[in-house]
Chain A
Amino acid sequence: MTEAKRIKIMSFSLIFGFFLTWEFLCILLNVSDLVLPRPTEIIVTLWVKFPILWPHILQTLYSTLVGFVLGVGIGVALGVMVGTSRVAYAVAYPLLVGFSSIPKVAVVPIFVLWFGSGTTPAILTAMVICVFPIVVNIATGLATTEPDLEDVLKTLGASKSEILWNVGLPRTMPYFFASLKVAITLSFVGAVLSETVASNRGIGNVMMTASSNFQVSLVFAGLIILAVLGVVLYSFFSVLERRVTGWATRDTDIAIT
């Protein structure tokens, strides 16, 4: 058995063991399902309520992805602007750090104030929360491009845009894809957060409503859905990253030196 396979099996058993322990502790200590429902109860709720939950899942995914796409677009554009000039990078960096260190929960009330509750603030929260990691990564990738690599093209008489296109951007791809993994997770957090505060749709809202009605197992069902969605979104971009920027995380086994 290979090392990788063993780790996979161990990691599955850990997850399974976690839920098993949860189940048994609940039975053993006689925990009320109003406090902490057993995993089996949650699964039953999930199964029974799934037809009702489904549109909410789509709603959350929709807000997350639209916000994410907008965030990536803005982030890439800003990142390229900041990163192509060393001066712009140095000047803009403090402001970027300042913006990105604002707790994004704080912007939700502002969006609600401007756009009312519903899908718009969810999308916008998902957007602003994911912009900064992308800007910072793109800008860093571009600004730290080795001058040697650029010199190769400069001696050939390449224009600024040719250098950006042939060296800067490809060189930045690993940074970009690493930031996408972070960004999609953050977008998801942002969308759910905004739904929780100000929406009547989406998983965030379902959990909020369920908790005020003491449907505790439904709250946990929402939590499970969020966990699964989060993992799926993250894995998608993780796989994409390895596909596109394999050269940066090369597999040294096939080197022939």
Chain B
Amino acid sequence: MNVKTQVIAETEAISDSSTLPRRSAVELQSASVVFGSGDKAVTALSPTTLRLDAGDFVALVGPSGCGKSTILRLVSNLIAPSSGVVLVGGREAKVKELRIGMAFQNPTMLPWLTIEQNVMMPLKIVPPFKHSFRQDRKGAFRDRVHALLAQVGLAGFANHYPWQLSGGMLQRSNLCRALIHEPDLLLLDEPFGALDQFTREELWQILQDLYLDRKPTVLLVTHDLREAGFLAKRICVMSARPGRIISDEPVNIPQPRDIGMIYGSEFVEMTQGLRELIAQVRK
């Protein structure tokens, strides 16, 4: 038995006999990523260990190029770890044990589909929804899409095409697409990075509502410390490339949080602390 399978076997044994109330949703065990080989090898992620419990909301912050997005790509199985193990729902990421919803900074709406069709896409792909997609459930699915669109303030835009919508509206649709199939795990890669401050704060609140409503496990990559502080239950700070996690602190403010809070002294103090930490590791 090689090391990798042994680790998995052990983890399964633990989770089977576990008396813990929550099982891990995401677990990185010394996972690293190296692109290329030989002299040209680039280490995108130093061996990193990170654990998210079910229902956790963790924000990953750090200087650009530190491997934040690499962690998301590992968890979503877009890339495989060069060493170490990535477990999702207690099993290897490629098994797709958990239902995953993902939103990138770029809204990546398919331009030939309407917003409704775009948001509906996961229902067409992900089991068990895909099995009933072509049958009578389509009407029910459509109602569901419309309800979710209404929740993010996009009622009446279902039949528009992506190019007819503004950046903020596209990002709302993007959130809807990441959530429509009720994922257990939501992966967000700087989803509000390209938006103006007002739209961003509005979407933070929408995301908070959606999170508290459904309680998925969330891993949010962001470079906005206020975003991390407002939304997350835990903030992990990463060092400059090759990245690793240098700080992992809970945010001790009860949810739901009020948006006015981000201008309060306690909150500013916390983000200042994070800021200084990142400024140090950038050197």
B-contacting residues of A (Cβ < 8 Å)?
A: 146, 148-149, 151-158, 162, 166-167, 170-171, 173, 245, 247-248, 250, 254-257
Contacts and interface: CB of A to CB of B under 8 A. Distances in A.
Given A152-B121, A257-B164, 7 more contacts: A151-B108, A152-B108, A153-B125, A154-B78, A157-B125, A170-B112, A247-B112
Contacts of A250: 161, 163
Interface in B171-203: 177, 181, 187
Where chain B touches its partner, the secondary structure class is loop
Contacts of A155: 76-78, 100-102, 187
A66 to B, nearest CB: 30
B111 A248 contact: yes
Given A155-B102, A155-B187, A166 B125 contact: yes
A248 B112 CA distance: 8
A166 B108 contact: no
Q: Which 4 A-B pairs have the closest CB atoms?
A: A155-B102, A155-B76, A156-B125, A247-B112
A166 B163 contact: no
B200 to A, nearest CB: 18
Contacts of B112: 170-171, 173, 245, 247-248
A221 to B, nearest CB: 44
A167 B110 CA distance: 8
Q: Which of A146, A156, A157, A166 has the most CB of B within 10 A?
A: A156
Contacts of B76: 154-155
Interface of B: 76-78, 96, 100-102, 104, 106, 108, 110-113, 121-122, 124-126, 160-161, 163-166, 177, 181, 187
B111 A162 contact: no
Given A148-B104, A148-B108, A247-B112, A156 B161 contact: no
A170 B101 CA distance: 23
B164 A148 contact: no
Contact of A170 (B110, B181, B187): B110
Nearest to A152: B108
Given A155-B78, A166-B124, A254 B164 contact: yes
B106 A148 contact: yes
Contact of A152 (B102, B111, B160, B165): B102
Interface core residue of A155, A166, A171 (most chain B CB under 10 Å):
A155
B164 A151 contact: no
B102 A149 contact: no
Nearest to A159: B125
A247 B112 CA distance: 6
Contacts of B163: 247, 250, 255
A157 B110 contact: no
Contacts of A245: 112
Contacts of B111: 247-248
B130 to A, nearest CB: 9
A156 B126 contact: yes
Contacts of B108: 146, 148-149, 151-152
A256 B157 CA distance: 11
A119 to B, nearest CB: 39
A250 B162 CA distance: 11
Contacts of B125: 153, 156-158, 162, 166
Contact of B121 (A148, A151, A153): A153
Contact of B161 (A166, A167, A247): A247
